[in-house]
Amino acid sequence: MKLGLHLSIGDSLDKVIDRATAKDCNTLQMFSRNPRAWITRGLDISRIEQFKVKLRASRISPVFVHAPYLLNLGSPKKDVHHKSVESLKAELRRAGELDIGFVVTHLGSHLGHGKMNGLRRVVKGVEESLSAVKNNVVLLLENNAGTKNSLGSSFEDLQYITSKIRDSSRIGICFDTCHAFVAGYDLVPASAVNQVLRRFDETVGLKTLKLVHLNDSKGSLGSRLDRHEHIGLGKIGEKGFRNILRSELRTRPLILETPIDIRRDDAANLRKVRELAIT
């Protein structure tokens, strides 16, 4: 399995490789900068080289950059949409500079102005970003939990966007298990997992699936509650993750975004995934 964590770049960008190695990850996800600010500085050339040297010397591949939380590509507010697009362009450039092949982004909210209007704005923003940044970085659209006015909780939303992007080689999907479950896609019985993946393949296409965010859920099926839980301790549970880890999803890189608290840390969640994958 390709199994890893979302890890901090605190202190220095290259330290994320050390953290991943120490936690026995062979893939990882990271922010390339502060995820809660619009403005960011360019990457220092020496830090870029330090990161690339460590990455090449490691067994970690692939690496994913997660775009900042502030992005709302579906926003009807012109200033927010513009800042979101400019921020996405910056993330695509930074990933290219770091020899990272993928950027993951949330799609945002239409803020009550209609789903189709929001989806069209997402397409416009993605097309503008990919056209402006001429590299080979692939943009991964993450499914969401179906919270009010949000975009991308259904496979049909994702299919609409991906089908409108001219360069299909630079667009893909990140499938979050918690988000899918609370949006109404059952991931507990083996038959349900297989049915969800058949539906995904018929709608979006499994060839577009490049990354899985492996998260349990505090919320129940269809609750639209976006709260991640430790693997096996949430509503998907150990049964669900055994079935997920026997499915097509196991063949993609698996990134955990699980909490750290008195019950479990990252290492314990990684151990649980490995245990469930063989039992």
Active site residues: 36, 66, 69, 106, 142, 176, 179, 213, 226, 228, 257
In contact, 92 and 137? CB cutoff 8 Å: yes
How big is the chain by its Cα radius of gyration, in Å? Answer: 18
Q: What is the DSSP string of 103-151?
A: EEE---B-TTS-HHHHHHHHHHHHHHHHHHS-S-PEEEEEP----TTBS
Cα dihedral sign, 2-5-6-9? negative
Among residues 53, 165, 75, 173, the alpha carbon closest in space to that of 87 is found at 75
Task: Indicate the DSSP class of residue 249.
Answer: G
Which residues, including other chains, have CB under 8 Å from residue 126's CB and lie 6 or more apart? Answer: 73, 88, 139, 141, 161, 165, 171
Helix (H, G, I), strand (E, B) or coil at 201: helix
CB count within 10 Å of CB 247 equals 16
CB count within 10 Å of CB 253 equals 23
Helix (H, G, I), strand (E, B) or coil at 66: strand
CA dihedral in degrees (255, 138, 48, 132; nearest 10)? -140
* First and final C-alpha spacing in the chain: 15
- Give the Å distances, CA to CA, from 227 to 70, 123, 173, 215, 266: 18, 27, 20, 9, 17
